[in-house]
């Protein structure tokens, strides 16, 4: 039976970041295997998401994660260079713009104070300042907005994932195209993983970075994690009228839009019964665009009344049903089975810090750079939530 010091299930951005950070850690010299069920990555969240990064969170741990993430992205060409080939993930540092009505003003202000305190470059703008900075924006019903002057924007998520993967492989990490269907357990320890064809691969540590399959894999180890798989759709369009300097704009109702090449991409996450769990459904519901997204955007940006819809696609997010934040690390009863599940749409921007953190847990038995213990899966049992404050 083949045996590795670490087996990572899931070779997309989280798994590949963990693999790279293990290989780059000077205190680690073990063997690492990354298992990826679909090496084309056509349907993984890393390839299908809106691929953005922000510091505008309401919890300190998420802000710190993204502050490290932006530093990593800015230096990705140096850090993940392989044989003179420097990855370029097309980072557009054009900011986020969160908008709030009177109902959300206090939450926006509280979030802003924490963000600035931790070093994020975020401006709090009154309606007159919003109108001056973004003259194409309708501000009549707004009370305030927060704009990321630096450190926020969007990038090529697929490119980031491949850069991590290529660098990891160059440092000796082994990748294999296989589906892991179960974690092998013996005497309170993970001893390996069983593949779809029945083969068992031994492991000193198993990392669950399996995305939408993460809950099923955890269940084979006797661990029930509150992860739900939700479909998200992204729509593209071109505007007949030109819009200058459009950041990633988030309307008070949660609809978002940002620039993309010579057009725009947009989306919205429904809630409640309108957002059921799904599996293997990549069909695009154009009614979502026609009935909600476009009317919202045309009201917020009158120039968007005249648009030409373009391509659209659907993908999956592993959502943490407990508090919409990642479950990161091990539970006491299975200390060498590490979870990295339930990113709830934040996976790409959090991959640099999370991958580094996972490597530190493996090598040192605890966090050395950024303390991510607040995100431990034990918080579910403890009744402790890490919940972001919503702005309306």
Give the distance, in angstroms, between the CA of residue 97 and the centroid of all CA atoms in the same chain: 18
Note the pLDDT of residue 282: 83
Note the pLDDT of residue 44: 73
Question: Which residues share a beta bridge with 9?
Answer: 35, 208
Q: What are the pLDDT digits (tens) for 279-309? A: 777 889 999 999 999 999 999 999 999 999 9
The 3-state DSSP class for residue 197 equals coil
Note the pLDDT of residue 289: 95
More confident residue, 1 or 377: 377
Note the pLDDT of residue 234: 95
Q: With 70 as the cut, is the pLDDT of residue 392 above it?
A: no
Q: Give the Cα separation of 35 and 205 in Å (integer).
A: 13
Is the CB of residue 167 less than 8 Å from the CB of residue 107?
no
Q: With 90 as the cut, is the pLDDT of residue 276 above it?
A: no
Per-residue CA distances from 283 to 33, 211, 229 (Å): 33, 20, 15
Lowest mean pLDDT among 57-66, 77-86, 310-319: 310-319
Tell me what the mean pLDDT of segment 308-312 comes to. Answer: 95
Lowest mean pLDDT among 39-43, 142-146, 330-334, 353-357: 39-43
Instruction: Tell the residue number behind the tokens 């921007």, with chain if given.
Output: 349
Average pLDDT, the chain: 94
Note the pLDDT of residue 280: 73
Residue 262 token pair: 């010579």
Q: Give the Cα separation of 337 and 331 in Å (integer).
A: 8
Note the pLDDT of residue 261: 83
Q: What are the pLDDT digits (tens) for 123-154? A: 999 999 999 999 999 999 999 999 999 999 99
Pairing of strands 52-53, 153-154: antiparallel
Note the pLDDT of residue 103: 95
96-150+228-320: in CATH 3.30.9.10:
yes
Q: Give the Cα separation of 8 and 142 in Å (integer).
A: 46
Note the pLDDT of residue 308: 95
Lowest mean pLDDT among 49-58, 273-282, 299-308: 273-282
Q: Of the candidates 238, 60, 87, 57, which has an alpha carbon nearest to the alpha carbon of residue 158? A: 87
Count of CB atoms situated within 10 Å of the CB of 233: 21
Q: Which fold has domain 3-84+156-226+322-382?
A: FAD/NAD(P)-binding domain (3.50.50)
Extents of the domains making up the chain? 3-84+156-226+322-382, 96-150+228-320
Question: Which residues share a beta bridge with 50?
Answer: none
Tell me what the mean pLDDT of segment 211-222 comes to. Answer: 94
Q: Give the Cα separation of 9 and 203 in Å (integer).
A: 11
The 3-state DSSP class for residue 158 equals helix
Note the pLDDT of residue 79: 97
Q: What are the pLDDT digits (tens) for 226-261? A: 999 988 999 999 999 889 889 999 999 999 999 988
Note the pLDDT of residue 264: 96
Q: With 70 as the cut, is the pLDDT of residue 381 above it?
A: yes
């Amino acid at each position: 039976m083949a045996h590795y010091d670490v087996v990572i299930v899931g070779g997309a951005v989280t798994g590949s970041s963990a693999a790279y950070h293990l290989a780059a850690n000077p205190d680690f010299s073990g063997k690492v295997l990354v298992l990826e069920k679909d090496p084309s990555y056509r349907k993984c969240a890393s390839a299908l998401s809106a691929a953005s990064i922000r510091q505008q969170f309401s919890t300190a741990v998420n802000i710190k994660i993204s502050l490290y993430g932006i530093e990593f992205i800015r230096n990705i060409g140096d850090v993940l260079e392989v044989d003179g080939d420097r990855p370029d993930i097309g980072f557009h540092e054009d900011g986020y713009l969160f908008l709030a009505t009177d109902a959300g003003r206090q939450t926006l202000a509280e979030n802003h104070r924490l963000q600035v305190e931790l070093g994020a470059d975020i401006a709090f703008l009154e309606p007159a300042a919003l109108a001056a900075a973004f003259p194409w924006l309708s501000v009549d019903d707004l009370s305030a907005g927060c704009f990321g002057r630096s450190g926020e924007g969007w990038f090529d998520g697929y490119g980031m994932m491949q850069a991590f993967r290529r660098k990891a492989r160059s440092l000796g990490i082994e990748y294999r195209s296989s589906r892991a269907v179960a974690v092998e357990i013996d005497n309170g320890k993970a001893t390996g993983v069983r593949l779809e064809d029945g083969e068992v691969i031994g492991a000193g540590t198993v990392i669950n970075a399996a995305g939408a399959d993460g809950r099923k894999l955890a269940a084979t180890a006797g661990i029930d994690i509150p992860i739900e798989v939700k479909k998200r759709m992204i729509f593209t369009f071109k505007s007949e009228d030109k819009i200058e300097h459009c950041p990633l704009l988030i309307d008070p109702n949660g609809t978002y839009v940002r620039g993309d090449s010579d057009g725009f991409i947009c989306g919205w996450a429904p809630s409640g019964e309108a957002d059921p769990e799904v599996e293997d459904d990549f069909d695009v519901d154009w009614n979502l665009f026609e009935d909600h997204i476009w009317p919202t955007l045309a009201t917020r940006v009158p120039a968007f009344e005249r648009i030409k819809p373009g391509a659209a696609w659907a993908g999956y997010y592993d959502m943490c049903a407990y508090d919409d934040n990642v479950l990161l690390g091990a539970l006491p009863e299975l200390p060498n089975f590490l979870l990295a599940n339930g990113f709830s749409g934040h996976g790409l921007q959090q991959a640099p810090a999370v991958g580094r953190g996972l490597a530190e847990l493996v090598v040192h038995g605890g966090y050395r750079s950024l303390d991510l213990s607040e995100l431990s899966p034990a918080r579910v049992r403890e009744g402790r939530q890490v919940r972001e404050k919503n702005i309306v």
